[in-house]
Structure 1
Amino acid sequence: MSITVVIADDQRMVRAGLRMVIETEPDMTVVGEAGDGAEAVGLARRIRPDVVLMDIAMPRQDGLAATSALLTAPQPPRVIMLTTFDTDENLYRALRAGASGFLLKVSSPEHLITAIRVVAAGEALLDPAITTRVISAFAAQPGPRPPAELDGLTPREAEVLRLVARGHSNAEIAAALAVGEATVKTHVARVLMKLGLRDRVQAVVFAYESGIVRAGGRG
């Protein structure tokens, strides 16, 4: 089954370049293009693509506002944020908006294709470098009181959440806990379900905002 993609960017040349890269893949199809956030929201709601590539800086409605609007609808698409601005503010705002991935426009075509496949499969593209930036963003913030939802996690699930928040892959978590990757996947799925989170990106944001993991600490 083909992965359907909508491209939202205010520059036609950028859209054309992204389309060219995506449509070289036999399992991907670009089903629409938008020049601003408002157009992207309307198009995505009408076409219902699997993935939206969303530029952050666009007229009328920026990509962050458009992403927030899209993800309030039932069965929303997965969103990968694209930007030329590698700033902590953009990164954090993109994660808080609900994006499943964050890519710079200077990323390689191979990285873009991998990102689309990863998020279309229901996972989140959480590069370790991005996790490091999230950690740094929370470094100076006072620790809030952990939310009550954490009481529903088992000790092992809480430990898995901490490792996810530190940017560890399933394989790395499995090695750290001396269990199989299938067991880790089960733990991650249960953590997301119990906390009402969509994916690992939301888990990282939740972990740092709730204070159960602190930058530079052992949490």
Structure 2
Amino acid sequence: MKFSRLAGSVIGGWLLLSVVTGCGSSDSKTESTAETTTSSAKPTATKPADSAPKKTILFYGNSLTAGYGVEPSQAFPALIGKKIDSLGLGYSIVNAGLSGETTAGGKSRIGWVLRKPVDVFVLELGGNDGLRGLPLSATRQNLQAIIDTVRAKSPQAQIVLAGMQIPPNMGTTYANEFRELYKQLADKNKLVLIPFLLEGVGGVQKLNQPDGIHPTVAGHRIVANTVWQVLQPIL
């Protein structure tokens, strides 16, 4: 597999996991619960609500989640939303992907993003750390802090961790330890793990934009299918 050169501060590439731009809206809308009608000849009757409030799936990541280089509706979180709508599942999608985001940046803003509780939290961060060769101990600590904050603010939320991989530019030892970091965090925190977010896309020239890092529209469709295979059983 050939890997293209690193692209400066651009986030994700065929890294691992994304934060506040993109598609979707964050809040579920609650409809009226019931209407009560009375009649002199009949007892009080209750009309059920037309629909229940939707639960929220929040995608938290970097440019991969944000959909850098494609339309917001073509990024994998939006494609997941379309799958959910087609099946009539009661979930809304919030895309909290931010291009260029590192785990440190994600840690600093997670409290603001989680001003309201969520039901499923998909964590896709770390790729930019790896491309920059940042200390893995810091990446691990930052991801753990994000996980802890989600658990504190949305105790009921199911957390999905998107695994990432990087080319061996920083050395094979660093690349291998970076890859294993995600599995170790998932095991420690009992998270649902997507082994490699860019499976079948990373390193494939025709599925990536000219920078060799960010998926094309076709690449995002493959990423959406990879994520859906893990996410669907949870929903």
- TM-score norm. by structure 1 comes to 0.31
The structure that has the greater radius of gyration is 2
The higher relative CO (CA closer than 8 Å, separation ≥ 6) is in 2
